[in-house]
Chains A and B, each alone.
Chain A
Amino acid sequence: MPLANVLLVDDEVPFVETMTKRLTKRDLRITSAFNGQEALDKLEEDRSVEVVILDVKMPGMDGNETLKEIKRRYPLVEVIMLTGHATVESGIEGMKMGAFDYLMKPCDMDQLISKVKEAAGKKRQHEDKIIEARMKEITSRRV
């Protein structure tokens, strides 16, 4: 059982490849995508993804747009933004739209892992609560 199912989205192929290797080594299951649209497709295919690590600056559909779309379609999936800028604004912008957190690139591996864990934990917690609520609803149904 991996620590978390993660979708890694960045347009820089070497970055994605290396990160995939490193994160896999740390017991994460990594799916990778190289642009926003591909990320949405991968999410559609693989519903087990818990956390998306999303680069803000990408050609075509950029990070914030992708985030918006992800949050619309899969509200429970947590998203960690990676910003190239030192601008707090783009990170804050992302958080306002429902991102779990933001990190500056290049980021510290341990920090990233812990954020991913937190995000996955939060997602699972949400899911658990939802399941619990549904069970309660079902069990307390009157016939």
Chain B
Amino acid sequence: MDKSKREHRDYYNSLTRNMLLTVIIVSFTPMILVGGIILYQFQTSYHEKVHAHLEELVQKHKQNIDSFLQEKLGDIRFLADNFTFEELSDESFLRDKLESLQKEFGLVFVDLGAIRENGIQVAYAGPFKLGKALYSQADWFQKAMRSKYFISDVFLGLRGLPHFIIAVRDNWMGEKWILRATIDFVAFNSLVGNIRIGETGFAFILNKEGKFQTKPLLDIATTRKPYIDFLSDRNITKDEIHVVERTDESGHKNIYVAALLKNGDWLLVYQQRASDAFSDFRRTLRVALIIMLLGGLGIITMAFILSRRMVSRIARADREKQMMNEQVVETGKLASVGELAAGIAHEINNPVAIMIEEAGWIEDILEDEEFQESENLDEFIRALEQIRTQGRRCKEITHKLLHFARKTDSRIQEVQINDLIEELVALSAQKAKYSNVTINTVLQKDLPPLQVSETEVQQVFLNLINNALDAMDKKGGVIDVITLMEGDHIAVQVADNGPGIPEANLARIFDPFFTTKPVGKGTGLGLSICYGIIKKMGGEIDVHSVMGVGTTFRVLIPLPKQKESE
């Protein structure tokens, strides 16, 4: 029993599990697939958008810086072209020009200087005391002497401050001379330093040696390698913008956007942490993941609850089915018992009749005088009496069995239960009078008619009333027959105040051949016939009994189902 219960539980558990898994897989697969595809597409396009945006930004600034440099160079060229070396060697003139430049462009131009071929600065205008300075050994001077226009890298120079120089070479009376202007590092730096996006996005400029030409954020100084790699990459062409994502030494993924400036001398680099650049995307991703997670949790919870509920319903249905099966088996058993009984009864009845008659015949003969003196006469008579008694017993049994199995009038007809009960009570009145029993009826008025076989219902209630009468055992008592509505059933109670049924017998009273009557008095078929009839109508019969107080049989007969109005 325990084992089969456990097996049942295992079966239902695995059913729950399978249902749960199926629901989860079926609902998760499309969710994950759709979610994944959309996220992937979104990520790709968002990356492209961010890259394009950064490219555009860098492109714009590259143009800005290039045009800034070109412009400044143009200004200096203008000076060099329009004024002679003689004029420009005059410091007051130079100062005048510097003032007008500063007026025009702000403090971008720090100072101006005119330098001879030998490297001596013949005139200087600016905040530093650099008059007559000798530049012949300076790197920028040598380079400037070689080309007509020159823009230097950023260097400290004589003044000890970072700056760079724009130099224009010209000829005056067969001698080369140079007009140079210093560009304020701070002003130039702001061109690039203003490029700030998000929390970690910034830009800076490197020269070919990888030296910073503008002031980057501090933490970059240590990780210069990627830029040097970048610079040494020969594939980089002048006009292209390059976007690279790379993991740096501290383990952060960065986006690098690079473009060449100043004819490839300088490199404008924009750097941003990938996490920062894609923060919007990350946020979306996070929201999507949270929604998916919550949805998933919801699905799992629902699947769990649903499958539990479903399986408990299935279990209930199974139980009901099993009960139904048991009932079917029970009624089937009764039916086959009935058939068997009928067969036996038919066959046995005639031989029993003959046996009884033969015994009677012997009895008749014994009455003749010649046997009257026989010493065993009494024994003969006793034995014959016994044969007759037992024969009668056989007769009774076969009669009841035949009754049990006989085909009753099972035509379904409209039956008013109250009329039927009253008829039966009237029928039983005579027997009740002998037993000194009063039969009371409490009948609910206006009960709807039943659709049942009248003879079968008669049989049931006559059996119950007869049983109640027998239970009184001639001591007298009261039998109450009550009819009333109970939901969609009519309930009929037959209650006596007899001795009651012992609890040990209660479970067996509907079993065929179970009887407590003395041997030969009862067949034990009455209640099992009742049970079979009531079950066949889809009704219920149950019994409630208290020792010394009485027994109540309650029969529930279903009302005919309301036909749909056509």
Contact = CB atoms under 8 A, between A and B. Distances in A.
B353 A106 contact: yes
Contacts of B357: 15, 18-19, 22, 106
B354 A14 contact: yes
A85 B402 CA distance: 7
Interface in B345-381: 346, 349-350, 352-354, 356-358, 360-361, 364
B402 A18 contact: no
A25 B399 contact: no
Nearest to B392: A106
A131 B86 CA distance: 190
B471 to A, nearest CB: 23
Q: Is the interface of B mostly helix, strand, loop or mixed?
A: helix
Q: How many residues of A sit at the interface, in one of the four size bands?
A: 10 to 19
A91 B553 CA distance: 32
A92 interface: no
Contacts, number: 52
B393 to A, nearest CB: 11
B47 interface: no
Interface residues of B, number: 20
Given A15-B357, A86-B400, A22 B364 contact: yes
B353 A105 contact: yes
Interface in A9-23: 12, 14-15, 18-19, 21-22
B406 interface: yes
Contacts of A25: 364
Interface in A22-68: 22, 25-26
Contacts of A140: none
Nearest to B406: A87
B395 interface: yes
B391 A18 contact: no
A86 B399 contact: yes
B403 interface: yes
26 contacts: A12-B354, A14-B354, A14-B358, A15-B350, A15-B354, A15-B357, A18-B354, A18-B357, A18-B358, A18-B360, A19-B357, A21-B361, A22-B364, A85-B402, A85-B406, A86-B399, A86-B400, A86-B403, A86-B406, A87-B406, A105-B350, A105-B353, A105-B395, A106-B352, A106-B353, A106-B357
Given A21-B364, A26-B364, 18 more contacts: A12-B350, A15-B350, A18-B354, A18-B357, A18-B361, A22-B357, A22-B364, A84-B346, A84-B349, A84-B350, A85-B406, A86-B403, A87-B406, A105-B353, A105-B395, A106-B356, A106-B357, A106-B391
Interface of A: 12, 14-15, 18-19, 21-22, 25-26, 84-87, 104-106, 109
